[in-house]
Each structure stands twice: as structure tokens, then as C-alpha cells.
Chains A and B, each alone.
Chain A
Amino acid sequence: MIHSLFLINSAGDIFLEKHWKSVISRSVCDYFFEAQEKAGEPDNVPPVIRTPHHYLINIYREKIFFVSVIQTEVPPLFVIEFLHRVAEMFQDYFGESSEAAIKDNVVIVYELLEEMLDNGFPLATESNILKELIKPPTILRSVVNTITGSSNVGETLPTGQLSTIPWRRAGVKYTNNEAYFDVVEEIDAILDKSGTTVFAEIQGVIDACVKLSGMPDLTLSFMNPRLLDDVSFHPCVRFKRWESERVLSFVPPDGNFQLMSYHVSAQNLVAIPVYVKQNISFFETGSSGRLDITVGPKQTMGKTVECVLVTIHMPKVILSANLTPTQGTYTYDPVTKILMWDIGKLNHQKLPNLKGSLSLQSGAAKPEENPSLNIEFKIQQLAISGLKVNRLDMYGEKYKPFKGVKYVTKAGKFQVRT
């Protein structure tokens, strides 16, 4: 299946290579560089590249290209999903999956890759299992290791490997037993010029941080599970219980994990919590333009909208912007042509406004299209779909855990067309 893996940074250096079968010369990456050059933007590099003898399947994460080499038929998503899993594992181990982190921990990275794939076929991808085999680096451990000479490689088979619940290791112990759940909802929307919704939907995830001793069996129920239109679960969730009773019943992995993701059907009208009034126009003569944007809160259920950030990809001919915000700060990068307006909290009384003039390249024709606005925001203590966790019960263990649920609503791909 997966033959080799090359990690390539944005400068085009191959800074790590790993082969699971015979060695493949790194010159195979030249085909990748060719495709990369043709694509321009890293986003536009085709995920699957065909070369005379191999196929290159790549992903782009944290400014690193993970390029895998394939020789025979394999589902492309299989490889893509696996590569993302690798990137996530790095993040889990080192806090970030950046080039620096990988270079600093190259031996652990190598050991990890060795365990994750055998002959190109995934062997262990559960973080709990891997962490028993290869302990994540901590300052304390490295100090202890140098003194005692003990290693950070496990000597016995991880307990999870053999059990029916491979995601959880046995013998977990905590002094404070706690289980926290974050319900994070994102609104994906496209609004048109007049502010009417072209398309809107809510995507949500429930992130969990569970630190409980022993083998707890949890049951999470919702006040209104009917809201959920489409769900996908962490393997620990018992799908049959969900189908019959609409409760999440699971033996949780230890630590942080994503319990489920869901989609709220479009039939339940999505309340758009902000509105935008914009007027961007370019004059026929004088190579200049005007920009006037106002953002205001709408249907926020009494909560404040925070961290509002407006991003505009300006047409290429815009040289500079001379604007005055009534709130927050703005920056315009003349190289990437990105205008960013960081507003912060939305205030009901005084609506933030950004107004001023844009100057165009002299002599250039006025751009035909208006740039679209991408908006980010965050609302604490609110799940915009109205989803509510009813209760969390624990079976199988005697102690009483601390429990908590937090709700956040964010803007996902929130775009206003102009």
C-alpha cells in the first residue's frame, strides 16, 4: 500500500523520508515539485499525481507537504485519511505538527512511523496504543531517562491492542476524575449582496476531555436529539444504542478526543447571528474606490458576539486602503491583497463601521467584481442550533466524577457576497 513517505517544507526541502518497503529514490519528488509549480497555490496541488512508475498522494498541513508514494491500486482516501492521521499524531505528541517540531523529535517521529505502518498497511493508529509503545517526550521524562537509563519505549504489548476497545488502555488512574464536553457549532453560510441567505447550515462537534480512572462506561443524552440530522461518531460510541434510543453510550478513550460530529438539517432554519451592510464601489475615473462596511448583531439570543474578524480578498489592482474604523483595527497587505479588520466584541449601541477610500493602480481598469467578505466570530455559552446536553451518567466505576459542558458557536465558512 503506502510505499514511502516524504515530508517537504514550503521551501521545497525534503526534510524527512521513510520507506516501508524497498527504498525509493527521492528524485520521485521531482514530479511533485513540477505539479506544485504548475498549481501555484499550495491548495491547488492535485492530491493525486501520476508519475510513470508511481502515484504520489499528498496532503498539505501546517505548511508541510506529506507526500506518499504508492505503487499499486489503493483507495486514495485511505492514504489521505492516513496521512492526516499521521499529522494529527504529531500534533498529539509534540503539540504541533510543524517542521521544527518534527526535526526536533526526529527519532520519535521515526519510531512512530515505524509503528503506524507495517509494510505500508496501517498497524496502530490509535493514540492511546501508540503512547504506550512510545512515550511522548516531556522534559521530566528526558531528565529521568538520562539519570536512570530507562527508555521511553514500552516493553509489553499495549493492552488496547488486544481488547475490543483498542482506544482505551487499562489501569488509568486519576486523583481528580473529570469529564468535560465542549459542544462547538460552526455556521457555514453564504449571504448574497442584499443580505439574504443563499445557503446556511450548522455543523457541530462535541470535543471531549475525559480523565477518569478505570473503565468508566458513560451515557450522554440530549434534550433534543431530533435536531441532529447527520452524525458521525468516534468508534467508541455504540451505534445501536444511538439508533434505538438516541443516546451516546461509550467507554471513552483517555484524554482528549472528538466524540462526535453532527449536522443540523437545513429544515431547522439557521439563525444568522450577525448582519453586514457593505458598500464597495469603484469609480470609473480617478482610479479609486470607496468602501463602507458595518457589522451588527442579529438573533444572538442575548449573548455577545466576540472575536469578530472581517477578511476581504481584494482585487489585484487595489494598491492601498485608507480607512477609518470606529472600532478595532484594520490591516491591508498590499502583497497578498488581503484586508483584515479585527473588530472584537460587537456592541449593540454603537455598531462598528469601517469606511474610507481605496486607491487603485493608476491606469488600470476598474475591477468588475466586488470581493466577497469572509467573517469570523464566536459566541460563548450558546449552541446556535439549540442543542442541549441533558445529562451524563457513568456506570462501571464507583467514584463521582466532575462533569461539565460548554457551548460555543463560531463562524465556519461564513461568506458574504458583494
Chain B
Amino acid sequence: MSASSAFNDEKGGSSSVGEPEYGHDPASGGIFSSDYKRHDDLKEMLDSNKDSLKLEAMKRIVAMIARGKNASDLFPAVVKNVACKNIEVKKLVYVYLVRYAEEQQDLALLSISTFQRGLKDPNQLIRASALRVLSSIRVTIIVPIMMLAIKEAASDMSPYVRKTAAHAIPKLYSLDPEQKDQLIEVIEKLLADKTTLVAGSVVMAFEEVCPERIDLIHKNYRKLCNLLIDVEEWGQVVIINMLTRYARTQFLNPNINESLLEESGEKAFYGSDDEEGKEEKADAAALAKRKPYVMDPDHRLLLRNTKPLLQSRNAAVVMAVAQLYFHLAPKAEVGVIAKALVRLMRSHSEVQYVVLQNVATMTIKRRGMFEPYLKSFYIRSTDPTQIKVLKLEVLTNLANETNISTILREFQTYIKSMDKDFVAATIQAIGRCATNIGEVRDTCLNGLVQLLSNRDELVVAESVVVIKKLLQMQPEQHSDIIKHMAKLTDNIQVPMARASILWLIGEYCEHVPKIAPDVLRKMAKTFTNEEDIVKLQIINLAAKLYLTNSKQTKLLTQYVLNLAKYDQNYDIRDRARFIRQLIVPTDKSGALSKYAKKLFLALKPAPVLESPFKDRDHFQLGSLSHLLNTKAGGYQELPDWPESAPDPSVRNVEVPEWTKCTSREKRKDKKVEKPFYSDSEGESGPTESADSESDSGSASESGSESGSGSEESGSESGSEESEEDSESEEEERDEEEEKKKRKKRPERSGSESESEEEEESESESSESESESEEESESETDSKKTKKSKKEKKEISLLDLDDFETTPIEVTPVNNFLSNSLVTDLEGLSLTDTVMNPTTIAPSGAVKTYELLHRITGEGLAVEYCFSRQPFGPDPHMVAVQIQFTNNTSSETKNLHMEEPKLLSGMRIKEFPEIEVLPPGESATVVMGIDFCDSTQAANFQLCTHTKKFFVSIQPPVGELMMPVFLTENEFKKEQGKLMGMNEITEKLTLGEKCQSDHAIVQRVTSAANVSRVPCGSDKECRFAGKTVTSGSLVLVTVVTKEERAAQLTVNCEKMVIGTMLVKDILQALTQ
């Protein structure tokens, strides 16, 4: 059998064609029995009147075709039977025709009339199959007939025939591309078809014939989205892929804001300098153009209608939806695809292979998405190697400070595997983890050094190569490892490893001054037997040693160079000649030799170990091109998002009243009917902004990056509060101490990044970040007391214990000064009515808020607080004190603000530009904002000499006022004026820690910038303030009763402010 098939590989060798065989008995026979008589036999059967004989003959012929044997000489006999009544014979004749018509065009024409008759048959199956065959025989002469048939079939009654027409379009197109324009007309017509049966096929035709005619889709876009779920699986894949491309041209990027932040965050890992510069410019441009993002309802429609398809049993459909979400969905919603993709990992290994490739690309861009499924990527010893390597890639991409210990433990078991290719890949992976995550670098290095004593040479060699890369990052600390590796030269034979060791010794010869010459001596001895790559490194080593230690190694170097001079390999000879000229001073030696040392011993940048999947996402995921990482023929580029959205009304369908507005309403109605959608999407209307991430439930589900980010900041602010409290307790301390503290503070903020890292590594040991946060929140009380004690004892502020639990603590530098200033002023105006200046004064409890996190700000951290000082230049403005901290290693220049985006009436007084902020330093400035007595945020850009950051300041209601000083009588009088609607009363239960008068005063004054009004009753506390802009009075009364019960009354002309203030104070008091 094998012999015969091999022999018949070539087509056209009709003389050697094997005999026809019975379908049931294909194993019999071979080339030796081939003769013409058997073929005559078949011809006879085909010519007979009996259908059963014809059928038998056709079966044999088809069996021949199936095995790749040539049956073309039977064409005339077969084609006669095209009009046979027996449907099975007919079908087999069709099979034969489609296979050979191209080769025998003239004879094939004989059959055309039959098909033309078939096209008019009342039976839709016969009409359809006639069209199928007619369009499948690739004979150019019949192009006009085909065109006519397709056009006719496109308006057939039966959707099945129309589907067949759609299938015929690409066939005709490939036969004669000239017909494109006419075919597009047919496609346009079929695109408007409302049946699900046609939709998939016509989109496929569209993709093959005119993928660039995106305008044809507009009118059908909504219909396609709505039909999608009922289309057959294969059609779904094609439609989804096409719609992904369509959406990229028609809608705005839902992640405009996040993507900027994200990219800048990522750059810390990968970006090289000049690349960064370019991107920065782009960023700046994008930032300048930024508008509040509103998702197009049609964009939302697509996302919503594809989501259920993630549950499809067809892996291709799931993948198509996944790539659609990856390319189109707002970041917070992408998480939903992770679960579905992980499910596909249970499927056949080929499916796994493709899915893992795509997951690997996704994990680089959106790591958070797959982190919960880390364990699903654990490797089994029974996995095929190619799957193992891909899983390893995913695991490496997923590694971060939190999970690295688990991952390394997993890697440890992998190293023991019997599959050596896989072990080598694991060692590479460890190397990459070590470079990406600084904390574990030493652990990894130690682990790798232990592997050097492994018995398997491949393992050792791979470890050497990886260690070399790691050592390059910090060679000073590891001279003992270099020594250890020097010893290995005696045993390791793998050339790459030997070369790596030699390079290391040469590069860091000053760390191992005694060993290096000895290694060279040994190498010189074996020079002639080494591989080329090793020889080159020996020459390299010799040259470097000659330059640093010429006394000991001069002769050795000469010897090595002489050996190299007569080497067989010209590269080595060249290298030897070049080096001799460069390092050995002769009379002729040129100017270069002066710089030999600089040439050879220049500091070399550490290599960047990065994923081979980086940057693959510019290919549409799930595509063949993505898998191969090269453009495949016919690949349609995924276009970039447009800068401004094209007119959305093009998608409106003819029905005149169906304008955008009504369509929205309609859709809303629909949603009421189908609780399923509103369930999954929450209250998200058709227009929603992706800026607010909370609008989708998925954020909380998947714990996406953005989610965790906000959590982090939450915890920070929480602990800050505790800081403040403790500070306010120490308020009585004299200023001297504070001055000391102030001096120390800059140091402290300098080491801020360190402390944070430590904190992170700490949380690594705990099971999950969120848990640890909860703990820390619940423990705030105990911490508070602990800390205040600590500070009272005057323990050095740089104490490490302190860092373990304290996150960044930045208090405005001149806060204390200003406070005292305010109290002084108050003291002046109030004289004897003041009960105790320290309690009346707005306490030191000034909350700092984060304006720019140091990660998103690329090392620039910005915090702000409301200093509660009157703002000098304009009394109607709220003073905002901003502190910049430069955590980078380079200077930040020209810090200033630009382009405030404000609501009407709001004004901003900019702070003076900071010209230079040296690394590690902080600077504080004050700006004024007139919020117009509203809590709307003030948006503006913070600019440095290279970057722009979008920031916003939103004031708590308590900061919109300033204290006024009233006597008890005045207070009562004013309160009398503000009754009824202007008075809000609320009952409350005081918090445990908040029962004393003192505590109440403190809480209220920290929640709002008001001052205390003296009061005769000891059960009442009164406060007064006025809003900054309009000067409306704000009066607050807290009446305490038995058992921690209390009553809060706020009187204010501005009811909105009053209500919000009540809420804030209530919260402050009940805590």
C-alpha cells in the first residue's frame, strides 16, 4: 500500500494509475495490477442502463480520487451521467466534476446545461447543489453564467439557496477578480438579508472579496449584532472577527485614560529611552485631546451581544469573543474572558496550544486578569513539551511580588523533570522572574548556583547562561559566585556555557584578580580543541586581562593570539589580528589603541530578559498571523482607534423615526423585557462612561488591576487618617520637637520607596492583599495607640519597625507653622472668649489626599491637602497645599500646571512654577481654588518638562468653609434665622472613642473647617463657619445625651452644603 501510494504521488502519470477499487475494499490491489482493461470495465459500467452499476462504478472512481489517484481519463464517461436520475450517482458525478473540471475544461462544458436546468428545479436542495457545483468547477469560460446564476440565487425564496449564493461569491471572485464590482453589489444585497442562515456566509464572502468596504456594514451593523447569537457557530466566528475590525474604525477607545497610565507604568519594565520619548509625545497629544469618554451605544450593543457566546461549546467562538473583548472592551470588563479561556485549556492539546499562545500575549498587557487562575497553568508531567513551555511562559508573565514565592516553588519541582528541554526553559523562566522582580533576585541566583552542581550538563549549561545575565546586573556582590563558576570550566563541556563563564571572568576580572589569569592559562592549553564560540571568548578574556594585568598575562596573551592567528576559522583569525593591533602597542598602532581599555572594559548594560510574546498584540488575537508572529496572506490589520468618532448616524436604518434617541429608548425597553441583560450589566445604560470603573460588576469580580489599584489607595488613606489622629494627640508638644521632626522628614520621604517595597513584600506572605488590608483596617485602633506611644517615646523616625506598618506618610511641611499662625490670629481676635486656643483652632488633623501616585507619575508623587489657611491673594479661594516628591533618580524640571478644566464660575490661582526638583527631594506649593461652594472637582494638568498628568482635586464639603467667630448670643440669633428648610437635624450614636467633649470637638473640626463657639451648657458643642465663596453661615450644634446618644443640627442657607456636611460629620462622630 505504501509503495503504491508513493509511486502515485505525481499526478498525470496516467499510465501508471492504479486500478480502480471497490469502496469497501481499498486495501487490495496495487500498481502491478494496473491495466487499461479495468478502466474499460468502469467505462462499460458507466455506460450501462442500470443505476446500480453506475453507482458501483462511481463509488470506485471516488475511492480512487480519495486516495489521490488519477482518474481523469474517465472524464467523458463520467460527465455523461451528470443528468442521471439516481441522486447518489449524481452526487458522486458532481464530486468527480469538481475535482477534474479544471483539467478538462472543454469537456466540462458539456455538463453546464444540466446545472442550468437544475437551477430552475422546484426542489431547493437541487437548486442549491446545482449552484454549488456550477460555481465550483473552475472554468473561466462560464464566468458570465456563474455571475447570472449567483445574482438570481441571491434573490431566491429559499434562504438555503441564498446561503449557497453567498458561498459562490468568493469562488467566482478567485476565478475572475474582474467581477469584483458586480459581486460587491450581490454582497450588499445579501448583507441586508435578515435570516441567520445567510448572515455568516455573506460576511465570509465580504471578508474574502471586499474587506475594505467597511461602509457596507454600517446599515447592517445593528442587525448583525442582534442576529449573532442565532447564527451557526462558524458564521459567528467570522462575524465577530469582522465586527472587531469594524468597531476599531467606528468607535472611540474606551480605555483612553487608562491606557496612558498603563503604558507609562509598563515602561518602567521595558521601555528603552528613545522609545519612551516618542510615546511621551503621543501621550501628551492624547492627553491634550482628552474629553470625557462616553461609550457609543452601538459599541455597547456589540459587547453585550457577544458576551453570552463566551459560553459556546465551540472553542473558536470563545476565542473570537475573547479577542473582541480584549481589543474593544473597557479595561474593567475584559476580565470576563479569563474564565472562558481557562476553560478551553481542558480541551484537546491543539486547542490548548493556540489558547495558551493568546493567553501569553494577553498576560503581558493585562496580568491581573489571569492572576486568579494561576493554578490552572500549573504543569503536569504528562503535558506535551510545547504545552509545558507555553504554560511556563504564562506563569512567568503572571509572576509578581505577591505570588512569586508560590511560582518559584512550582518551578523547583519542574527543574526535576525528565524532559530536559522543559528544564532548560524553566531555568530561563527563573532568570526572567529574577530580573523582573528585584526582591527574589538573590533567592533565584542562589537557586541557580545550586543547580550548577546538577549532574545533567544541559541543566548546568543553561544555569550558567542565565546566571551570567543575572550577575551582569550587580556583579560587585557576587564575586564568590564568579569564582565558583571559574571552577566549573574544568567540567562543563557545553560550548555556550563555557563561553558564558569566560566572558564573565573577563568582564569582572578585577573582582577575581587571582583566578582570572589561571583560567586563561588552562584555556590556552585547550585552545585548539575548543568550539569557535569558546575560542572567541578566550581571545576576549586574554585581551581584557592583558589590559588590566599585563604583567602576569602578557606571555599568555601572546600565545593565545598566536594560536588564533593560525586557526581554521577566519572569524577567529580576524578577531586575533584586530585585537593584537588594538592592545599591543607598536609604533604603527593608531589612535585607537589609546582607547583600548575603554573599548574593552566599558560598562555594559545588563541584558533585558523579556517575553517573546511582548508586542505580539498588534496582531489581532486569535489570528493565524498572531500565532506565527508574521503577517499571513490576507490578514487584515486591526486598525488603530480613531481620534474622534465617525458619524454614528450612518448605522441608523432607513426607518425614519428610528433616530438615535429613539433607538436608545427602544433598547432600554428591550432590556426590561430581558432581565438577563440587565442582570449582567447592572444599571449600565446604553450610554455610559468607561471612566467610572465602578459601573461594571466585573471589576470587583475579577479583581482587575484597576480594582486593586483603588484598594491600595484606600488602604493608604485609611492609615493616613490614623496618622493624623495620633498627631493631633501629640499636638500639645512643643514646637522644638516638631522642628526636629521636620528636619527628619525629607530623609524619610527619600526612603519612602524603600518602605513601600518592604510593605509589599510583607503582604506577599499573607494570602492576599485584600485580606491584609482588612486586617489593617480592623487593627487601626490598636495601631493608633501603639504608634502614639512610640512617637512619644521619641523613637527614631527611621526605625524599621515603623516602616513595616506605615505606608507613605507625608504631612505638609509648613502645616504646623501655619496652624500656630492661625491660632495666634484667632487668639488676637477672640481674646477672652476663647476657652482654649488649641481646641478651638482647626486641629493639626489635616488629611492629605493623593493627587498623583508615584507609579502613575513615574516616580513623581504628588499629594495635596487643604491647609485651612486663608488664601492670601484671594479670600474667596480655598487654599490647597500641594507637595511634590521626586522619587526618580533624575531631576524633574519645570513643574507647573496647565489647562484647567472647570465648571462655570470656578477659578484657579495657579502655583508658581517649580523649576527644578532634585531627586529624592520634596517641594511644597500653595494654590487657590474657588470651588463656588460646590463639591465638583477641579481638573487640570500637572506638567513636568517631559510629561503631562491629568489630575483632579475634589474638595470634601467641610473644606469649602472657613471658621467665623461668634458669641453665644450671636450664634443663637443666627440660628433663629436659619430654621425650617435650612435646618437639618439627625440623631446619632457616638462612637466609642468619641464620648468626651474634647473628642467631639476634634472630630467636628477635622471634618469641617469651622471654629467652636463658646457655650454655657456642657452637653452642647457649637461650631460656626461660613462658606468661602458666598460667605453663607454654617452653624453646627452637637447635643450629647445619655448613653452615647446625641443629636446633630446643622443650619445653613445652602441646603446642599448642609446635607452633605451632616453626612460627613455624622460619619466622623459615629466612628
Contact = CB atoms under 8 A, between A and B. Distances in A.
A119 B170 contact: yes
Given A151-B88, A365-B455, A110 B62 contact: yes
B5 interface: yes
B52 interface: yes
Nearest to A59: B350
B91 interface: yes
Nearest to B456: A368
Chain A residues touching B, range: 35 or more
A21 interface: yes
Contact of B348 (A59, A72, A239): A59
B5 A44 contact: no
Given A23-B99, A119-B167, A243-B680, A107 B59 contact: yes
A107 B92 contact: yes
Contacts of B340: 230, 232
Contacts of A47: 350, 353-354
Contact of B88 (A73, A146, A153, A166): A153
Given A55-B624, A73-B623, A80-B351, A155 B125 contact: yes
Contacts of A50: 628, 630
B313 A13 contact: no
A231 B308 CA distance: 11
Contacts of B88: 151-153
Interface stretch (B109-117, B413-421, B550-558, B771-779): B413-421
Contact of A80 (B348, B381, B628): B348
A157 B384 CA distance: 44
Contact of B313 (A14, A114, A235): A235
A18 B66 contact: yes
A48 B9 contact: no
Interface stretch (B265-273, B631-639, B828-836, B848-856): B631-639
B27 A103 contact: yes
Interface string A1-19: 1000000000111111111
A190 B380 contact: yes
Contact of A71 (B168, B204, B353, B633): B633
B408 interface: no
B288 to A, nearest CB: 37
Contact of A48 (B59, B168, B380, B624): B624
A223 interface: no
Given A73-B636, A368-B454, A239 B87 contact: no
Given A44-B384, A313-B381, A77 B634 contact: no
Interface stretch (B230-238, B325-333, B1037-1045): B230-238
Interface stretch (B41-49, B315-323, B477-485, B714-722): B315-323
A98 interface: no
A78 B241 CA distance: 11
Nearest to B675: A244
A76 interface: yes
B416 A110 contact: no
B644 interface: no
B384 A78 contact: no
Contact of A190 (B87, B378, B636): B378
Max chain A Cβ within 10 angstroms of own Cβ: one of B124, B418, B635: B418
A266 interface: yes
A303 interface: no
A121 B201 contact: yes
Interface string A34-54: 000000010110111010000
B526 to A, nearest CB: 25
Given A17-B67, A80-B350, A369 B623 contact: no
A243 B455 CA distance: 56
Interface string B97-138: 001001000000000000000000001110010001001101
A15 B384 contact: no
A289 to B, nearest CB: 15
Interface string A69-106: 01111111110111010000000000000000001111
B66 A106 contact: yes
A233 B2 contact: no
A174 B313 CA distance: 28
B646 interface: no
Interface in B331-366: 339-340, 342-343, 346, 348-351, 353-355
Given A107-B63, A369-B418, A77 B351 contact: yes
B627 interface: yes
B63 A23 contact: no
B237 A415 contact: no
A110 B95 contact: yes
Nearest to B619: A73
Interface string B159-177: 1100010011011001000
Contact of A73 (B95, B123, B316, B635): B635
A25 B24 CA distance: 25
B234 A121 contact: yes
Nearest to A311: B382
A406 B579 CA distance: 79
A417 interface: yes
A55 B626 CA distance: 13
A25 B312 contact: no
A371 interface: yes
B842 to A, nearest CB: 48
B313 A111 contact: no
A55 B623 CA distance: 13
Contacts of B750: none
Given A59-B348, A415-B382, A156 B628 contact: no
Contacts of B9: 25-27
A22 interface: yes
A258 interface: yes
A15 B2 CA distance: 9
Interface string B708-748: 00000000000000000000000000000000000000000
A11 B2 contact: yes
A173 interface: no
B308 A81 contact: no
Given A11-B2, A107-B62, A413 B382 contact: yes
A110 B58 CA distance: 12
Interface in B578-616: none
Contacts of A146: 52
A372 interface: yes
B348 A84 contact: yes
A127 to B, nearest CB: 13
B698 to A, nearest CB: 14
Nearest to A237: B311
Contacts of B102: 22-23
B659 interface: no
Interface string A147-161: 001011111110001
A357 interface: no
A60 B772 CA distance: 48
A334 to B, nearest CB: 16
B196 interface: yes
A261 interface: yes
B68 A157 contact: no
Nearest to A152: B88
A21 B380 CA distance: 41
Contacts of A201: 376
Interface string A260-271: 010100100000
A356 B61 CA distance: 60
Nearest to A43: B384
A153 B91 contact: yes
A315 B624 CA distance: 37
B68 A243 contact: no
15 contacts: A17-B68, A47-B354, A48-B627, A75-B622, A75-B624, A76-B623, A76-B624, A78-B237, A80-B348, A107-B92, A118-B167, A232-B318, A315-B418, A369-B416, A374-B382
- The 3 A-B residue pairs whose C-beta atoms are closest, nearest first, are A72-B634, A151-B88, A43-B384
Given A232-B318, A239-B676, A240-B308, 11 more contacts: A16-B67, A59-B350, A61-B348, A75-B316, A76-B624, A151-B87, A155-B123, A166-B232, A192-B413, A243-B676, A374-B382
